[in-house]
Amino acid sequence: MGSLTDPLNCYATHLKQKLFGDDYTKIFSRKIKAENIYFGKLLYDLVNENTRLLENEKIRDYGLAIFFFAYALSEMMREDPLGLRILENPKEFIVGDKKDILKKTLTKLWELMTPDINIDLQEYAEEHDNFFDYKNVFKNSSFVATMSRKIKADYTRLTRRSNDDSFAKMYEKYIVEHT
């Protein structure tokens, strides 16, 4: 899905000159359709609307951090057969009632994951003498790769504890509630 499949491209999408310049063909391949772009925007907006769940106030309004967390949500979806299906072809899931159910599912997933994300960010700061340079860490490939792995591991741990917290199970639950 273009920029959301590579966390390091999040930085490029944050910079408009990179997005529409040198990296345009990397980010917008022939496989990218309008529904992929719309779904990426939906993920970004969902994180942006729910940044209050992030304890570090400085990153709540930092666009690159929001891009990163949208990427993190897509990576959690990638771990789930239904989530992967949606990432590969979101068209049927981003219209009508399914869009509302998808947004509700992603919001719940974000709510479940932010306590672990907050701890991961706090641990990072503690490892660096309580210094968290948010404007630079989200540009740092080592930080991005490590944080991505931690968030993915946190999601795996969450779903092993209770399969009901998996993306597909939550989506199915909201489908049933909606009917």
pLDDT of residue 19: 60
Domain spans of the chain, in order of start: 2-178
Judge whether 109 and 90 are in contact, CB under 8 Å. Answer: no
Give the pLDDT of residue 20.
Answer: 64
Q: Is the pLDDT of residue 15 over 60?
A: no
Which residue pairs from 133-142 have beta carbons closer than 8 angstroms and sit at least 24 positions apart in sequence?
A: 134/56, 134/58, 134/59, 134/62, 134/65, 135/62, 135/64, 138/10, 138/11, 138/59, 138/62, 138/64, 138/65, 138/68, 139/11, 139/64, 141/8
Could you please report the per-residue DSSP string of 23-63?
Answer: THHHHS-TT--HHHHHHHHHHHHHHHHTGGG-S-GGGGG-H
Please tell me whether the overall predicted TM-score, pTM, comes out greater than 0.75 for this model.
Answer: yes
pLDDT at residue number 179: 81
pLDDT in tens, 117-144: 999 999 999 999 999 999 999 999 999 9
Per-residue pLDDT tens over the stretch 16-61: 566 666 666 766 677 788 999 999 999 999 999 999 999 999 999 9
Res 71 pLDDT > 60: yes
Please report the pLDDT score of residue 31 as a whole number: 76
**In Å, what is the CA distance from 46 to each residue of 31, 122, 124, 165?**
24, 23, 25, 18
> Distance between CA 75 and CA 25 in Å, rounded?
22
Contact 138, 68 (CB under 8 A): yes
Least confident of 31-35, 108-112, 173-177: 31-35
Neighbours of 4 (CB within 10 A): 25
